[in-house]
Structure 1
Amino acid sequence: MAAGGADLVPQRDRARNMWLVSAIEGARMGGEDRYIGQQVLAIRMRRGITQRVLADRVGLSRGAIAKYENGERPVDSRRTLLDLAAALGVTIGDLTGHEQDRMDRSTAGFHSVVPDLETVLWTRGNVTDTRLPRMLDELTADSCQATKLRNDCDYAALGPMLVPMLTDAYRHVRDTDSEQAWDVLGTVAYGVASALRARGYHSLAWTAAQEVGRAADRIGSPAQYAAAAFSQGQIMLSRPGALPAALATTMGVASKIAADVRTVGEIENYGMLHLQASIVVATMGVDPEPHLTEAAEQAGRLASAMPNTSVARNESFGLANVALWRMSAAMERREPGEVLGLAPTLSPDDLPNEGRRAQYFVEIGKAHAMRKNHRESLYALLRAEHAAPQHVRTMPPVRELVGHMMRTAKRDLTTGDLGKLAQRIGVVPA
């Protein structure tokens, strides 16, 4: 190493780094494939630190960092991604984000309404709007339809519904201040938060989740408290250093409401808190089984639960979804054999929506990729894409795996379905 300190890039790395930086610029111009390691390299170079320093900060070997940066190894774990982002002082989005996602024609309708959603949230619905607001019952029915679209990851159809729904919910709260109006507002705001988070608008999603919490405080609803905490936990799961806070938020609310959980909606939202906690602790390297067991026990209560007193539901929750989260937790712990062993015990037809079915196949694809079974991984990812194309085509883990396979798989695979998938998700130029 050259004299002058650990943060100087070694001479022997410079030629290769210059080539890789050139490749990054080529990727930005549409001439190369893209992967997380390119961003890691670019940010590391801007910071002026060596691979060794970055490796020490992350707790990996220098060779591992080199393989991430030159594309020999995909960044296929949330924990590694969080550690890299923390070590570089950036967000996960800085490493995974592709600005052209928001120019994608299939989801342009969603992205185009985000500025108006921001205005409605900032003003709490006090905006210029001459429409007559829908009645609360009609608004509740529309929110159920929006939930289905969101769960099926049809963001193009969902986007145009969100601004008028949220505006009308705020109007009813202002006009009546009734518990029913607040309950509907909490449910609509939760849907807005979930959709915004899924499309990468984390800060605005947090604002919407806070509105769910405000509704919960107004009516004292356990289901709404759980929905707000689940949404906030999901957002924090994407932030380096926020895992302890994500766990404290979800489990703090779970402990607070546990004794009052009786209705179907309360059990669903409470159970989702434990599923969220299972992923957080798995990412932290802790056994997720206690949370998965608790979630399964709650799912078993649904058949005999009391009728709902709130419109806050999470119909994705159930025994099949618990099994899927068990697969996801195993994947977070880098246990591909466990994932592939669990997969045959769960039929995708038993999962409640297209988003969950897509996740099932993504987990299988990730597990096969970890075992270098590229053809099986491709088939699973194609099935995931078929279930929820708008979602799967912008998932960072999918992009990372497809890009890695394009660089390492046999030519007969890369020139066929894999190459076409790589073009559809934007890993390589069409």
Structure 2
Amino acid sequence: MPDDGQDHIGARLRDIRKRRGLTQRGLSDASGISISWIRKLEQGEQQDTRLETARKLATALGVSTTRLIAGHREDDADEATRERWEPVRHALTSAASDRRTDEAPTVDGVRAALRAALPLFSGDRFAELLPVLPPLLRDAHALAGLDPRGRHLQGRLLQLTGWLMVQTRQFDTAETALARAMDDAADRLDGAAIASTRCWLLLRRGRLAEARALSVRWSDDTEPRLSRATPAELSAWGWLLLRASAAAVRDNESDVARDTLRLAHAAAVAMGREFTPDGDFLRAFGPTTVIFKRAENAMVEEEPDRVLSLSTHIPTSGHRPTSNNRNRHLLDVARAHLMKRRPADAFAVLRGVWSDAPEWLPNQRYARDILSDIIARRRTMTPEMRAMADVLGVPM
């Protein structure tokens, strides 16, 4: 039944539209969103919509996306995914009660285990990571109360776990892990890295104003003197600026987004090349990373030609096939081809990402939306398209 309350996006949409003196047809023409979808939103038949759709409507109405969406969140993981990762959630919330007194962990042992698990995180090797992570969380928790070094190890592991939970769309669990990670941060730069991951979580949940405020506060606190900054300082500052830019562009603040990107570019120039401080893949930063995010902003603003142009400036080597930044960029490239009415090229890009990152792709709603649009433009589907549709959960 339609919702008669005033908390759903449709009520805000209807109110702002009428204040602007626009009919539903006029808003549809200005935004490119179908009038039927606008009607469903305003009548409460649909309680939420994609962030991309909300941004188009907000742009047409001349308001911030934040004002319109209030409460939007990306879809949480499905029940099968949540069930699969239940041992990790249990280890996060019940580590103390599961502690094994007969097998006391050591700092060196946990550090070595965490080092061995890093390639599983960075490579999106979820099936291999799943049995390893719960006991590692329990051991780190056991150490945290006994040794400051153990506490800092736990903070690092909790950040990785929070990142993993965002990756698999388990957002509430990610909130828990990242809040605890911040309590265990070893120093200011560790705190900045955790804050950057939390900004990503907030962006995924559509909490744009919070993401921007958090990234700006931390970037102000960590801004280095470029002439003497270390790579770790440049990476921390640069990533926070990229998060601020991502929040601003999604909130229809294009000038702010460009300004913060320019500062991030300055940090990347000072870095000189792609660099991974302390071997931490989450802190990898440099000129190519900035190009990735510049292209992402261009896609948010629906500039496919700019996305494709920027992609030509990205080195073909130097990034792992499992690099999330690389693969997220390739989804933008696929979307750009689709907007240029080249569905075959779009699918070829998707196929490459699927081959390189088979466990990462199914967790990307963006990939599912792109494939849905490709299928909608074809009369028949190839066997490979059907197989990918099954993997991504695209209805046929």
- Distance, in Å, in 2 between the alignment partners of 1:376 and 1:324 is 19
1:420 aligns with 2:387: yes
1:237 aligns with 2:200: no
Amino acid at match of 1:116: H
Q: Contact 2:121/2:129 (CA < 8 Å) preserved in 1? A: yes
Spell out the pairing of 1:29-428 with structure 2 (5 A cutoff): 45-47=1-3, 56=14, 61-62=27-28, 64-66=33-35, 77=52, 80=55, 91-93=72-74, 96-97=75-76, 99=78, 101-102=80-81, 111-120=85-94, 125=96, 127-130=98-101, 132-176=103-147, 178=148, 180-216=149-185, 219=186, 221-240=187-206, 242-259=207-224, 262-285=229-252, 286-287=254-255, 288-302=257-271, 314-352=282-320, 354=322, 355-407=324-376, 409-412=377-380, 414-428=381-395
Q: Contact 1:339/1:363 (CA < 8 Å) preserved in 2? A: yes
Query: What are the superposed Cα offsets for residues 218-259 of structure 1, whole Å, 9 maximum, x if unpaired?
Result: x4x12211122112211211334x211111111101211224
Q: Contact 1:251/1:277 (CA < 8 Å) preserved in 2? A: yes
- Greater shift, 354-363 or 186-195, is seen at 354-363
Q: Contact 2:222/2:233 (CA < 8 Å) preserved in 1? A: no
Distance 1:76 1:255, change over 3 A: closer
Q: Contact 2:51/2:72 (CA < 8 Å) preserved in 1? A: no
With a CA cutoff of 8 Å and minimum separation of 6, indicate the structure with the bigger relative contact order.
1
TM-superposed CA distance for 1:144, in Å, is 3.4
TM-superposed CA distance for 1:114, in Å, is 3.2
SS in 1 for 2:296: helix
Amino acid at match of 2:108: D
TM-superposed CA distance for 1:87, in Å, is 6.0
| Residue identity (%) | 18
Q: Contact 2:66/2:208 (CA < 8 Å) preserved in 1? A: no
Q: Contact 1:357/1:387 (CA < 8 Å) preserved in 2? A: no
Q: Contact 1:269/1:314 (CA < 8 Å) preserved in 2? A: no
SS in 2 for 1:92: coil
Distance 1:188 1:282, change over 3 A: same
- Distance, in Å, in 2 between the alignment partners of 1:266 and 1:168 is 30
Q: Contact 2:372/2:394 (CA < 8 Å) preserved in 1? A: yes
- Distance, in Å, in 2 between the alignment partners of 1:101 and 1:348 is 36
- Distance, in Å, in 1 between the alignment partners of 2:209 and 2:343 is 35
Amino acid at match of 2:106: M
TM-superposed CA distance for 1:302, in Å, is 4.1
Query: What are the superposed Cα offsets for residues 103-125 of structure 1, whole Å, 9 maximum, x if unpaired?
Result: 8xxxx75x2423323324xx6x4
TM-superposed CA distance for 1:373, in Å, is 1.8
Gaps of 5+ in 1: 1-44
Amino acid at match of 2:184: A
- Distance, in Å, in 2 between the alignment partners of 1:142 and 1:263 is 28
Q: Contact 1:187/1:312 (CA < 8 Å) preserved in 2? A: no
Distance 1:149 1:51, change over 3 A: closer
Amino acid at match of 1:333: E
Partner of 1:26: none
Query: What are the superposed Cα offsets for residues 300-345 of structure 1, whole Å, 9 maximum, x if unpaired?
Result: 44479xx97x887734322222221111111112111110111111
TM-superposed CA distance for 1:88, in Å, is 7.9
TM-superposed CA distance for 1:58, in Å, is 7.8
- Distance, in Å, in 2 between the alignment partners of 1:187 and 1:116 is 19
- Distance, in Å, in 2 between the alignment partners of 1:232 and 1:268 is 16
Q: So what's the TM-score if we normalise by structure 2?
A: 0.78
- Distance, in Å, in 1 between the alignment partners of 2:316 and 2:163 is 22
TM-superposed CA distance for 1:215, in Å, is 1.7
TM-superposed CA distance for 1:197, in Å, is 1.3
SS in 2 for 1:351: coil
Partner of 2:20: none
Distance 1:199 1:65, change over 3 A: same
Amino acid at match of 2:296: S
Distance 1:313 1:350, change over 3 A: closer
TM-superposed CA distance for 1:193, in Å, is 0.6
Q: Contact 1:320/1:351 (CA < 8 Å) preserved in 2? A: no
Q: Contact 2:195/2:218 (CA < 8 Å) preserved in 1? A: yes
Amino acid at match of 2:282: N
Distance 1:166 1:376, change over 3 A: same
Distance 1:346 1:386, change over 3 A: same
- Distance, in Å, in 1 between the alignment partners of 2:279 and 2:97 is 24
Distance 1:137 1:187, change over 3 A: same
Distance 1:399 1:52, change over 3 A: same
Distance 1:239 1:90, change over 3 A: same
> RMSD of the TM alignment (CA)?
3.7
Q: Contact 1:193/1:205 (CA < 8 Å) preserved in 2? A: yes
